[in-house]
C-alpha cells in the first residue's frame, strides 16, 4: 500500500490524523449511549476514549486488519466533528467503511462528504477492489449515507445480530472500484 497523504481536503472538510487535543471532543460524542446505539459495543468510558484516540493518532495501514481512522473537521473551524474509518478486510482487495459524527455535526451532509473522500482514497490511491458497509437495518441515517454514496444494497441478513438485548437485521451495502470510477450520483 502507498503512503497515505494527509490531510485530505473536501469542499467543506479536512480529514486528518487524530491527535491528543481531540480527546475531549472525541469523548463528548463517544460517551453517549445514543452514539453507540447501533454499534456492537457500548458507549466508551474515558479510559477507552484515551486509548482509542492514542491508537487512532498512531494508526498504520500496512496489512489486513489495519484501520485508517481519520478525524473530520470543518475547514473554516478547527475542532473535531467526528470520524471516518476504513478497515482492510481479509481477502484480496477488500475493505469496509464506517462513520460516526458528533450529534451537533449531523444533518449537514458532513458524514457523506467525508465518506466520499475515503472511498476516493480507498479505490484510488489504495487500489481496493470492493468496499462495503455493514449496518443495522434500523440505522436509517447510515443507510441513507450508503445510498447517497451510490453503494448497492447487497444483503439483508434477517436477525443475524444479537446485541444490546435484541435481535437485529444487518444490511450490507457495497461498491466496486469500477462502479466508483464510473461516477457516483450526487
Ligand X SMILES: CC(C)(COP(=O)(O)OP(=O)(O)OC[C@H]1O[C@@H](n2cnc3c(N)ncnc32)[C@H](O)[C@@H]1OP(=O)(O)O)[C@@H](O)C(=O)NCCC(=O)NCCS
Strand pairing category for 94-101 and 130-136: parallel
All cell numbers assigned to 76:
473554516
Cβ nearer to ligand X, comparing 85 with 121: 85
Distances (CA, A) of 127 to 67, 116, 117, 137, 139: 15, 15, 14, 29, 29
Cβ nearer to ligand X, comparing 80 with 111: 111
- With CB under 6 A as the contact rule, the residue among 109, 164, 169, 172 that binds ligand X is 109
Cβ nearer to ligand X, comparing 17 with 106: 106
- Three-state DSSP class for residue 57: helix
Eight-state DSSP code of residue 69 = E
- Angle of the 46-57 helix axis to the 23-30 helix axis, nearest 10: 130
Any contact of residue 95 with ligand X (CB under 6 A)?
no
Mask: binding to ligand X, 46-75, rule CB under 6 A, as x and -? Answer: ------------------------------
Any contact of residue 144 with ligand X (CB under 6 A)?
yes
Size of the site for ligand X (CB under 6 A): 20
Any contact of residue 97 with ligand X (CB under 6 A)?
no
Any contact of residue 157 with ligand X (CB under 6 A)?
no
Amino acid at each position: 500500500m502507498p503512503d497515505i497523504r494527509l490531510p485530505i481536503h473536501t469542499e467543506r472538510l479536512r480529514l486528518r490524523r487524530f491527535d491528543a487535543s481531540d480527546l475531549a471532543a472525541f469523548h463528548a460524542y463517544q460517551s453517549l449511549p445514543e452514539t453507540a446505539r447501533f454499534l456492537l459495543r457500548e458507549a466508551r468510558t474515558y479510559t477507552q476514549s484515551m486509548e482509542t484516540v492514542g491508537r487512532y493518532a498512531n494508526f498504520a495501514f500496512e496489512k489486513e486488519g489495519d484501520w485508517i481512522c481519520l478525524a473530520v473537521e470543518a475547514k473554516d473551524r478547527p475542532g473535531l466533528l467526528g470520524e471516518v474509518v476504513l478497515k482492510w478486510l481479509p481477502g484480496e482487495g477488500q475493505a469496509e467503511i464506517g462513520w460516526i459524527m458528533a450529534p451537533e455535526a449531523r444533518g449537514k451532509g458532513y458524514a457523506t462528504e467525508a465518506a466520499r473522500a475515503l472511498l476516493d482514497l480507498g479505490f484510488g490511491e489504495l487500489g481496493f477492489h470492493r468496499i462495503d458497509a455493514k449496518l443495522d437495518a434500523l440505522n436509517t441515517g447510515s443507510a441513507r449515507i450508503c445510498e447517497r454514496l451510490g453503494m448497492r444494497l447487497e444483503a439483508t441478513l434477517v436477525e443475524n445480530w444479537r446485541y444490546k438485548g435484541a435481535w437485529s437485521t444487518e444490511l450490507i451495502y457495497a461498491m466496486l472500484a469500477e462502479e466508483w470510477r464510473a461516477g457516483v450520483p450526487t
